[in-house]
Amino acid sequence: MTTPLDRFEHNPVLGTEGAHTAVPIGLGEAIVPLLPEDTVPVGPGPEGGESTSSGGLGIQILRVFVENKLAVVGALVVIAIVLFCFAGPSVYHTNQANQQAALLNPENAGPGAGHPLGTDQTGFDILGRLMYGGQTSLIVGFASAGVATVVGVLYGALAGFFGGWIDALMMRIVDVLLSIPVLFMLIALVTIFRASESLLIFVIAFVSWLIPARLIRGETLSLRVREYVQAVRVMGGSRRRIVGRHIIPNAIGTIVVFATFQIADSILLLAALGFLGFGVPAPQTDWGTMLSNGADAAGNGWWWQIYPAGIAIVLVVVAFNFVGDALRDALEVRLQRR
């Protein structure tokens, strides 16, 4: 039983040759799904096999998705966090931009009146800072996952489209880039090009497009030999038509699932960079930078500078992984029913 995006697909003979995907060790990239037999069961559901075939494809996918309770929880958590970060500041007004004014607040104050979650080292209100930093984390997460997916899909499809030595060369480039430990690459890039929010999006995308490139190229190669593609070929369809009208649309499931997991991974990569001190420049912040500032004074017992940011990171990452997991199952069911 294989899933469209088994994140531990591997070629047992040549480590870097096969369509292996992310191996989530070390960084804490929370890549949960790797066991087909452990994925939350999404059978035909209580209403039985026949009745599920009613309704459109989108309805079917939605139904399988909703049947997965973890996924619904995940989606709700994502919505809640987005609302908290983007709508929260209009309800809970705090100063998050003026460092001079923030210094008038008591520093490192514990939770209490006026500051429900206390203040940080420079007097910024932590609850407000959580919203403000969350905006950065979410924007960078979504944007870099989007850039990485688009670039990776185009690159992988092109490699599959051309085939031959161009494909070989393009995939060797991917192999080489994948062999560089992600954090070293990220640190080198932020050292050379000074970090800003928009730059971080591209830096994180730069280390993230490799996996979708591989996935889509693999998908292209496997779809190429399907009967319907051969039928198009027999009827004289051009290679451009085969890739554009038949292969990419059929790989859309893989693409969507990858993008969902990538948002979680991008948020984690940004948090890791922020933790190492290479996040967005002050007075801007992100959750990793907040955690890092809190951890610098870990011995002081100022828990409000550590737990809120830490919990926020874990919560959003787990939520996106639940959603991605369920999407994969939903899309796989679609494949099986076809």
Residues found near other proteins in the complex (CB under 8 A): 8, 10-17, 20, 23-32, 34-38, 172-173, 175-185, 187-193, 268, 271-272, 275-278, 288, 291-292, 295, 298-299, 301, 303, 306, 310, 313-314, 317-318, 321
Instruction: Evaluate the CA torsion angle 143, 146, 152, 157 in order and state its sign.
Output: negative
**Three-point CA angle 144, 150, 156, nearest 5°:** 125
Q: Could you tell me how far CA 178 lies from the centroid of its own chain? A: 17
Q: How far is the CB of 334 from other proteins (least distance, A)?
A: 24
Q: Residue 66 or 276: which CB sits closer to other proteins?
A: 276
Q: How far is the CB of 15 from other proteins (least distance, A)?
A: 5
Tokens of 327: 């999407």
Tokens of 11: 């070629």
Q: How far is the CB of 307 from other proteins (least distance, A)?
A: 9
Q: Residue 309 or 330: which CB sits closer to other proteins?
A: 309
Q: How far is the CB of 29 from other proteins (least distance, A)?
A: 7
Q: Residue 247 or 270: which CB sits closer to other proteins?
A: 270
Q: Residue 102 or 319: which CB sits closer to other proteins?
A: 319
Q: Round to whole Å and give the CA distance between 312 and 290.
A: 11
Identify the CA nearest to 266 among candidates 327, 313, 323: 313
Q: Could you tell me how far CA 216 lies from the centroid of its own chain? A: 17
Q: Residue 116 or 301: which CB sits closer to other proteins?
A: 301
Tokens of 176: 């080489």
Q: Residue 72 or 233: which CB sits closer to other proteins?
A: 72
Q: How far is the CB of 292 from other proteins (least distance, A)?
A: 8
Residue with tokens 């995907």: 21
Q: Reduced to 3 states, what is the DSSP secondary structure of residue 112?
A: strand
Instruction: Evaluate the CA torsion angle 177, 179, 181, 182 in order and state its sign.
Output: positive
- Residue 65, Cβ neighbours under 10 Å: how many? 19
Residue 151 carries which side chain, given as an amino acid letter? V
Q: How far is the CB of 62 from other proteins (least distance, A)?
A: 25
Total number of residues shown for the chain: 338
For residue 194, CA distances in Å to 151, 203, 279 come to 23, 11, 10
Q: Round to whole Å and give the CA distance between 330 and 338.
A: 13
Helix (H) or strand (E) holding 257: helix 252-275
Q: Residue 157 or 264: which CB sits closer to other proteins?
A: 264
Q: Residue 35 or 103: which CB sits closer to other proteins?
A: 35
Q: How far is the CB of 97 from other proteins (least distance, A)?
A: 24
Q: How far is the CB of 326 from other proteins (least distance, A)?
A: 15
Q: How far is the CB of 255 from other proteins (least distance, A)?
A: 22
Q: Which residues contact 2 (CB under 8 A, 6 or more apart)?
A: 9, 36
Q: Residue 102 or 189: which CB sits closer to other proteins?
A: 189
Q: Round to whole Å and give the CA distance between 203 and 188.
A: 10
Residue with tokens 């051969």: 230
